Structure formats: C-alpha cells, structure tokens
Structure 1
Amino acid sequence: MKIGIISSYLPIHCGIATYSSYLIEELRILKNRVYIVCHKGGKGIDCYPAFNYDDPDLPNKAFRTMMKFAPDVVHIQHEYGLFGEQRGMNIIPLVNKFKLSQIPTVITLHTVPKKRNYEEKIIEKVLVEITDATIVHQQYQRELIIGRVGYKDKIWVIPHGAREINPASNAKEKLGLENKKVVLLAGYFRRSKNFEQVVKIFPKVTEAVDDAFLLVASGARRPEDIAYKDEFLEFVANSSTKNKIKVLLGPFSKQKFDLILSSADVAVLPYLKGAQSGIMAHCLAFAKPIVVSSDVQAMADLVQKTRSGLVARTNSELAEAIITILTDKNLAKEFSDNARRHVKKRVSWQIIASRHMDVYNKILKNRLSSRGICN
C-alpha cells in the first residue's frame, strides 16, 4: 500500500514528529511504501518538506506535493497550531482538497480538549465530517467527539505507541547520579505542565528520602515557553533543595534522552491540562513507575488501567506518591513490570502499526464497495 503521511517530522524537535517517525518505521516493516510531506526542516527516506508553519499557501503546497505520489490513503497527524494561524485552520482546506480528489483520508486528533475555543470547535467538526476515519488515543475522547459531532462509525481508538526497549544499566553513573533515587521531570517547558509544583513539594520528599534527587530534562521552543523556562530556573535557584536538583537543557539526541529516562526511579507528570503524552509513552517503554496529576483524565485513566503508577489529586498526595514509590521497592517493581507488560501486549509500535493498517484497509474497502467494485 502507498501511504501518505502529512505531519511534522524529524529532526524537528516535536512530539508529533517523534510519534510519526516510530509509526512510519513500523508501517514500512509491514511492506508499505510511505511518503512523508512535512514542515520545512524535516529529513529522511521519502520525506518531502513542503511548507512552513505560517505558510498561507500551506494547503496547496502540501496537497500538490502529496499528489505526486498517487497515495492509496493519506493520513494527517493533527495537533492544534501545527497547520498555521487560528489554531491551524489551514488543515480545513487541505482535507477538503483530498476529499474533492476522492483520496481516502485519515486524521489522528492527538488532542481532544473537553473545553474548546471557537476555532477548535469549527476545526474538530469539519475534520470529523470530511475525513473517512478519525483516530483518537483514548475511549473518553471518542465519546466526547460522538457527543459533539456524531459519526461514531468513523471514530477509532488507537493508543499512543511505545517502544520495546531495555533501560541502560549504567545510566546513573554516566549522568553523575550514582547512589541517588532519581525523580524525573521530562518534556518541553510549558506552563500547563506545572513543573514548578514538583520543586515546591520536593523539600517534603527529601525529608522522607534523604538520597532523593530531582532531575529535570527539558527545553523551550516557543517565546512563551522560554519565558516560563526562565521563571522555572529562577524558582529552582531559590529552592531550599537546589543542591538536590539538576536541570539539563535540551534539545537532546535520542541516545542522551534514552539515557536520561533510564536513570529515573520514578517519573512525574504533574500536568494541569493535556491529553496523550509522548513522555508518558516513553516512561512506559522504559518501565518507569509514573506519578500523574488527576487534572489530566487521559493520563490518570491510563495509569490506573495499566497499574503502572499513582494518581495524585493534591500537592500533598503528589509528594506522598513520589515518596511511596521511592521507598517501597516491591510496589515500584510491580508498577515497572505492569508497564513493561502493557507495552508488550497492547501498545508496542508493531501492534499500533497493525491497528492502523486495519483502519486503512477498512476505509479502502468501504470506498470500493461504494463504487460497486468487488474483490
């Protein structure tokens, strides 16, 4: 099958780019020819950078480039803001072009907010109506869309994939963290990720666990994120536990990021809002016990379903959850084993790619049936 993917792509530092790279790798293993049309800066096999984020001609450039390859199906990886101004409104004329050209089109909505602004309401409705299939990562997201837009037969739930990988055994030594119990905060700086909250409660953690050490691995891309990064670094500098906090500023190579993940005894995601998380998928891949905030339903549901960590509703519970995992070796091992089992049985990229093929084959079969063509 010839599959066209429209997405941000590596080496651009973006969670969607990383997600797409792992999915594409597995789709190619399944003997598909995959073409990537992406933002300028992307590189790779059959990768064609065609547009900038703020390009007013983005729909035409992406469409014309993709149509050169005569794809059997086009799959767009969507995130709000990824396709131009007004929350990425250029995605609307783009999907309409494929619709009018009778090209089967799939869209993955990586974020399905419970509360949407005006632009997001319009974009969500149009995308679900026009495309042949919509993929989301959580069942509650499917239910949200059905309640708001309908089209239940077109909405598929496919979880975020995760790698099957073994952590590096000497990671702490390489990072200068020997004999430390490492609490990890990782991912791009964003105010909604609430990283400072972990710094606030860290004195309570170190009172209970003397060798606890907070490792922060992050970076900033947008101007507003740079401002938050500077505030966060000042917050760390003023912390009473600043000697037990280390901040590594990215971007990181894949090898360095894997080393950082490998060093963690527990990973904390204290987010205030969001949906799926690439960082969470990485934590599951490396079988790291996770502590998440109850504010993000998708993450809380996944942690509880997989029994791979703890959910905290308050700051006090956040500190207690971290302390519990650092001091209860049996519980930490149970969480780790559960995470590893979940990846192997349910969300390895091999499984996720196979489920995508089910979607592609289904919509192609529907197209043939609607034209009266039988196999």
Structure 2
Amino acid sequence: MMPLRRVALIGNSLPRRCGIATFTTDLERAISNSRPDLETSIIAMNDHAQAYDYPGSVAFQIKDDVIGDYVRAAAFLNAGRYDVVCLQHEFGIFGGEAGAHILELLSRLSMPVITTLHTVLAKPTTAQRAVMERIVEASSKIIVMANKGREMLRSVYRVPDDKVEVIAHGIPDFPFVEPDAAKAKLGFSNRSVILTFGLLSPSKGIEVMIDAMPSILERRADAVYVVLGATHPNLVRDQGEAYRESLMKRVRELGGENHVVFLDQFVDQATLLEFISMCDVYVTPYLNEAQMTSGTLAYSFGLGKPVVSTPYWHALELLDDGRGVIVPFGNSAATGKEIARLLTDTPRRQAMRERAYAVSRSMTWVRTAERYIAVFEDARQGDWLKVIARTGPVAIAHSPAASDMQLDHFLSMCDDTGLFQHAVHSVPDRAHGYCVDDNARALLLACALNNPGEKRLPEVLTARFAAFVQHAWNPDTRRFRNFMGFNRTWLEDRGSEDSHGRTLWALGECARKDASPSRRRWAEALFAKALPTVEAFASPRALAFTLLGLDGYCAVVPDDARALEIRHFLADRLMSSLASVETPDWTWFEEGLAYDNARLPQALMLTGMATQTPDYLDAGMRSLRWLMKQQTASTGHFRPIGTAGFGELRQPPRPFDQQPVEATATIAACLTAWRADGDAEWKAIATSVFAWFLGRNDLSIVLVDAETGSCRDGLHPDRANENRGGESVVSYLLGLADIRQLARVNVSETPPVAFRAVGA
C-alpha cells in the first residue's frame, strides 16, 4: 500500500468564530506539520450565507443549506484522490433536518471516512438518531475525546468498541510558566486572576461566577474575573448584544465593576495563550452536563492551570483523581468557596498546576496528530484480513435461477413521484428524496420485466418513472437534473455526467423494450435531444452508459446517422483510454478501479457486436477477463471491488465495502461475453456472481429477503449494511432478471456453483 499522501478535513474553519473552527484548523495544522510529504486540506462549512476570508488550507467551501454543494464537495474529494476524509461532526453546522445534508456527501465518497464526534447525545430525537446511525455506518472509525463518548456510543447507538477510538482534545505545547510576566503585559499585575474564555452564550454559566464573586472578594480582595471572548455569532445575529449587556448589568447591581472584566474579543492563539498564562484559576461553570468536549478546558488544563468546573462529562473525566475541582451545577456558593480556597492556598494551587501540566503532555497537538494518523492508516488498511482468515467456502442451498421475482419491497420504495433513494433498514427514507439515477434504473427494470416469462410492472408505475426522467430534463442546460427533495423541488440545475449517461441508457432501453408504443416514441425523441451533450463528457462511465443506451436506440432508429457517428466517437474514446493506461499487468481504462466497473467492457462488447468492429469486442473481452481476476477471491467466490479502494492508483482492489451494483454489472457483462463468444464458462461465472447475493461471499451472509425481494445495501468488513435502498433493490432485481432469462435460454443445463477467474 502506498503511504498516506492526502488528507481532507470537513468542518468549520477559522476565521469563522466557533470552537469547531478552531479545532479543525489546529488539527489540520498539526497533521500537516507531522510529515513534510503529507498534504492536508479543509472542506469548510459556511453558515447562513456568510463568507469568510479563508487561508490557502481551505480547498473547498460548502454553504450549509445548499445540498448541491455537498454533492460537488464529494466529487471534488473523489477527483482529488484523497486517501482519507476526517469529518468533524457537530449537530447544527450542517444543513437539513438534524444536519442530514452531510449524508449526501458521505454517501458519495470513494475513500475511508473517519468521523470525530464533538457531541454524543444521550437522548437524540428520531431524526438525530437516524443521522447519527448513518454517519457511524459510513465511517471506518469514530473518534471521541472522552471515554464517556465511547460508553454512550455503545449503549445508545450500539456501536462496537473496536470501531471507536478515544483521542483527547489537542493542546498547544506551551512551557510551564508562572503568571506574573503575562499579568504585567496584559495589565493585571498584583491581581488574583480568574479566567473564563470562549464564545459567550447563556449555556456557559457566567451568571453563576458573577454571583460567586462577592464571596471570593471577602477572602481575596484583589481578585478579578476576566471573561474573554466575543458573543456567539448566532446569538448576535438573533439578539444583538442583549445577553452581554444583561451580564454587565448584573455586575453593576452587585457592585463588582472593578472586579469583573469583559473583553469582547475573538483572539488568535498566541494572545489566548498569554491570557491563560496570566490566570491563577480557570473556571468553566457550564450549565449542561451533556458536553462531551471542551476545548477551553483542554487548553487551560494543558497550560497547567488549576481548574474549577461543573460536572459536565469532559470535566468529570479530565479533572478526576484530584487533577481539578468539581462543583455542582448552578451553585454560586460552592463555586465561590472552592475558588477562594485555591486563591488563598498557594501550595495546593501550585501542586494542582504541576500535576495538570504533567498529565497533559500526552495531549499536545503533536501527539494528537500522531494518533489521528495512526487511525487514518488503520482505516486504509482495514480489518478485512481478519475477516478473510475466518471465512471459508459457502454452500448455496438452492439454485439462484429458481428464485422468484418478488417486488413487494421495490413497490414499497415507490410513491406517486418515483423511487426513493434511501431506506432506513427496510423503511423508505423520505428525508433524502429521489434521484434520476435510481429512477432511470427503475425504468431499466420495467423494460427487463417486459421479457418473456416475467410479470410486467403496473403501467402506472412505469409511467411514473418515465415522468420522473422527463421532468429531470433541463432544456436550458441540455442536461438531466439528478437530485430532488421529498417536496419535489430540484436541488440542482444539472446532475453528474454519469447520471446523464445512465438516464440515456434507460431511454435507449425504453425505446427498444417498453410495452407502450407511445412511450417508446417519447424515449426516442428525448434520447435524441440529450445525446449530443455527451460528446463533451470526460467520465468513462458516462461514455459507457451512453453506449449501452445507444445499443437500444440504434436498434430501433438505425438510420440516425448522427447517433451512429457519436456511437463510434464514444467507443473510440474508451479505446483511447484503454490504450493510454493499459500495461501487461493493468488492463483497464483508468489508473484505478471504482464503481459499476463491468459496464465499461460490456459497452465495448455490445458496440463491437452491433457495429461489427472486432477491435471494440476484443478490448471489451480482454478488459473483462482482467477485471474478473481482480474480483475473484482466493477461495474462488466472487468479491466485488470494494469502495474503500476507490481512487487508489494501480492497487489491488479493496474487499470492502462491497455493493450490489457491482455484482449486477458483472452479471450483465459476463452474459454479454457469453453471447459474444459462446463460451459456456461465462454463464457459469454469471451464475456464481449472482450467488454473492445469496450468501456465497466473504461474510457468508445472505443479502436478499426472498419473501419481499429487498436487498441489503452491501457488505461492510464485519457485517451487512442493513439499510435496503433504491439502488440496491433495483440492482438485485436486474441481476435476478438476467439470471432468470439465462435459465430459460438453456433450462437443461445446471449452472456450476464453482467460480474461477477467467484466464486463471
């Protein structure tokens, strides 16, 4: 495996004012500084249409409420061939209900995701739980900053311990110094300084400290409480400075104007460290127990400051065993008493300082970066070797060709708009709406079920998928839109090149196979309008999908000279890609493997047969044989290209995550090869690839429910993905339709169960 080269972090970034922005920026710098050859970038979240003057480390920006930005960010990361993505998650910084928009980004990434959870909710709402479960599922590893986070992930969200890493909040590596010099520089000489810093908001409990000051002053008349930090931007936007003014009024009512100082500043790190250096006691009087992480606490503790804190989760853990002082929530009397004790007991205060500083040396950003990089490397390597070691051949109890075509789950995933994208387990997930990708696949399934021996889909359903495709066409851009919200609002003005090509594929098949003559004519006309756009496309899969559509379109409109010209143009483009990349040990169109791989050889084979171009056919057969070697496990069963390896250059494919779409593409390509050269081995391979759905896979897990026709979304290294979305169910049903047709063609043969790589 190549060494770690490129890392991207998703989160808020300075100069945006918030704790997540500070953390993300500090972590990116620490990781970047850890290795001279390691490139790091930040994908920055922008809030409420705000714009920020970001440094060069920010490579891409996402407006939190613009779902298209999330999709474009995923494309940017995939195209940039980042090795890992590290998501900084906090409810409230992403758009959509419970921040669900981030799922649109994660679901499209081709590299491992490591997620740092800055909050773990003990009592999430239904929406929050659903989003959290999807994020955990999409992540190779989860990082929390306290052991309490691991416990809650286990008890509330049922996340296995081995998926969770505890890495403490990073801190600057600052020397252990006495406060006098910093006090003199900042104008607080001869004062006993109590400090709180951070963005000002009602949850910080500043009122408690203000009310505690009279009792502190009784014992330390020189005490001063410094509140350093700007008001939280969200609070300013909604209320102006009303909250800060109410605190200042409270100080005046208590006669404490000379002993409470508000510094309305968002300071840089160097200035912040000077302020922490000058304080004698640091206080975090927060009001909410459910605070998993506090950067202000970590920084102050790391500079060797005695800390007095309420018992929120992070403080309880960090200050345990006498490393700090815990006081009850909202208790001004206890807070004042403990701070006064520390200010009047120099030996105790000094001992607490020294202990905190010594304990915190493992928390410096250098050490934190080392631990993050170790997690990144582990996520890339994965635990899949352990899985392979304990997995053996699986006997299949029944012939896949005998399976019935059950459509209950597929029908449940459709409404009066079309096919939903996602499901939570087997329940359709309305939150993520629809896409033309999946509705085009559904139209392909409707065409496949027009074959002899199959039961057609209800006419109204086929018409609905066609209507979705028609509505997706944007005549202004000459492109198909892709993503639509549940409210039937398009989320973009054009989709990806691949989604455009896939839609043309569905239209071409509809023109050839639809049961309705009127709809066949509609498909021909829309195909002709949308075809020329593809000439400017760069994606090999978009070219291949379009060629698959041209196979159907040209069969029914053979005199369309322009279509024939484009057909050869696209096939020649694929041939050029193959020629420019192919070596004796790498017979492929790209430097790496991704999704729907077998569609590229299939497109060339079909085009070669239809146009009687032997070079196309030979290239398709040659690349498919090579691909099958890559997709064959040492035990002989089919192992589809795993998503964890997407973007890796000329590397053996990763085994996970395995997805149904890859198996379906391979079945279709193998049957195309069989029709091309008549070798019965291709039929055997196609049958054994289908057996992947039925349990002949790395985990020996059956992925389909024979009673409902649902299909799990794939295989993780340790389990099946229990969600059963639109792409997965259509992929399974398309594969099943191909196998059922194969059985009807040659019912006298019993397809062999064994699988061996072509050319092995």
TM-score, reference length from structure 1: 0.92
Cα distance in 1, alignment partners of residues 63 and 230 from structure 2: 21
1:308 corresponding residue in structure 2: 323
Map of 1:20 onto structure 2: 24
Q: How does 1:89-168 map to 2 (within 5 A)?
A: 89-98=100-109, 101=110, 103-152=111-160, 153-166=162-175
Q: Secondary structure at the residue paired with 1:237?
A: helix
| Distance (Å, rounded) in 1 between the aligned partners of 2:164 and 2:10 | 19
1:33 aligned residue = 39
Alpha-carbon distance in 2 for matches of 1:33, 1:309 = 38
2-structure distance, mates of 1:85, 1:324: 48
Question: How much has 1:180 moved relative to structure 2?
Answer: 0.3
Distance in 1 of aligned mates of 2:97 and 2:278: 40
Q: 1:238, 1:68 → 2: CA distance?
A: 60
Q: CA deviation at 1:139?
A: 0.9
2:108 corresponds to 1:88: no
**Does structure 2 retain, via aligned residues, the 8 Å contact 1:368–1:374?**
no
Aligned residue among 284, 287, 290 for 1:269: 284
Which whole-Å CA distance do the structure 2 matches of 1:308 and 1:142 have between them? 22
Which shifted more, 42-51 or 87-96?
A: 42-51
How far apart, CA to CA, are the structure 2 residues paired with 1:123 and 1:338?
40
CA displacement, residues 266-296 of structure 1 (integer Å, 9 cap, x when unaligned)? 01100012221111111023211100002x1
- Determine the structure 1 residue equivalent to 2:186: 175
Q: CA deviation at 1:334?
A: 1.2
Distance 1:362 1:22 in 2: 22
Q: 1:160 Cα shift?
A: 0.6
1:303 maps to amino acid = L
Q: Secondary structure at the match of 1:143?
A: helix
> Distance in 1 between the 2:369 and 2:191 partners?
38
C-alpha distance in 2 between matches for 1:280 and 1:300: 11
1:355 paired residue number: 371
Q: Are 2:325 and 1:321 aligned?
A: no
Question: How much has 1:374 moved relative to structure 2?
Answer: 10
The one-letter code matched in structure 2 to 1:235 is R
Identity of aligned residues (%): 24
Q: Tell me the distance in 1 between the aligned counterparts of 2:97 and 2:315.
A: 27
- Residue of structure 1 aligned with 2:234, choices 222, 226, 243: 222
Contact 2:148 2:292 in 1 (8 A): no
Larger Rg: 2
Q: Distance in 2 between matches of 1:21 and 1:93?
A: 24
Q: Secondary structure in 2 aligned to 1:76? A: strand
Report if the CA contact (8 A) 1:326-1:332 is conserved.
Answer: yes
Amino acid of the structure 1 residue aligned with 2:17:
H
* Aligned AA (1:323): A
Q: C-alpha displacement at 1:298, in angstroms?
A: 1.8
How far apart, CA to CA, are the structure 1 residues paired with 2:132 and 2:89? Answer: 10
Alpha-carbon RMSD across the aligned residues, in angstroms, is: 2.2
- AA of the residue aligned to 1:116: P
1:289 aligns with 2:293: no
Counterpart Cα distance in 2 of 1:80 and 1:222: 14
Deviation by residue 1:169-217 (Cα, 9 ceiling, x = unmatched): 5221222211000011211112111111100111011011111111111
What SS does structure 1 have at the residue aligned with 2:218?
helix
- Aligned letter for 2:374? D
State the secondary structure of the residue aligned to 2:258: helix
Q: 1:189 aligns with which of 195, 200, 208?
A: 200
* Structure 1 stretches of 4+ moved >3 Å: 224-227, 367-375
The whole-number CA distance in structure 1 between the counterparts of 2:303 and 2:33 is 23
AA partner of residue 291 (structure 1): V
Please, which moves more after superposition, 58-67 or 203-212?
A: 58-67
8 Å CA contact 1:164–1:343 kept in 2: the answer is: no
Query: How far, CA to CA, are the matches of 1:217 and 1:46 in structure 2?
Result: 27
Cα distance in 1 for residues equivalent to 2:242 and 2:70: 32
In 1: Cα distance, 2:39 partner to 2:59 partner: 14
C-alpha contact 1:37 1:47 (8 A) present in aligned 2? yes
CA shift, 1:128, in A, is: 1.1
Give the counterpart of 1:366 among 362, 371, 382: 382
Consecutive unaligned residues of structure 1, counting only runs of 5 or more, are none
Contact 1:8 1:39 in 2 (8 A): yes
**Correspondence for 1:335 among 333, 346, 352:** 352
> What is the CA distance between 1:85 and its match in structure 2?
4.1
Query: Residues 49 and 320 of structure 1: is their aligned pair in 2 closer, same or farther, counting only changes over 3 Å?
Result: same
Letter in 1 for 2:182: A
Q: 1:248 to 1:337 in 2, by over 3 A?
A: same
Distance, in Å, in 2 between the alignment partners of 1:317 and 1:9 is 37
Partner secondary structure for residue 108 of structure 2 = helix
Shift of residue 355, structure 1, vs aligned partner = 1.0
Q: Name the CA distance, whole Å, in 1 between partners of 2:346 and 2:253.
A: 32
**How far apart, CA to CA, are the structure 1 residues paired with 2:96 and 2:118?**
18
Secondary structure of the residue aligned to 1:170 is helix
Q: Which residue of 2 aligns with 1:5?
A: 9
Sort the Cα spacing of 1:68 and 1:367 in 2 relative to 1 into closer, same or farther, 3 A.
farther
Q: Deviations over 1:277-322 (max 9, x none)?
A: 111111023211100002x1221221115x4320002332211110
Q: Is the 8 A contact 2:28 2:41 kept in 1?
A: no
User: Following the alignment from structure 2 to structure 1, what is the Cα–Cα distance between the partners of residues 296 and 218?
Assistant: 28
Amino acid at match of 2:146: Q
Cα distance between partner residues in 1 of 2:201 and 2:262: 15
Q: How many residues align?
A: 369
Give the Cα separation in 2 of the matches to 1:276 and 1:70. Answer: 31
| SS of 1:6 mapped into structure 2 | strand
CA shift in 2, pair 1:93/1:56, >3 Å:
closer
Letter in 1 for 2:320: Q
Q: Which residue of 2 aligns with 1:236?
A: 251
Query: Which residue number in structure 1 is paired with residue 269 of structure 2?
Result: 254
Confirm or deny: 8 A CA contact 2:10 2:86 kept in the other structure: yes
The amino acid across from 1:243 in the alignment is N
Structure with bigger strand share is: 1
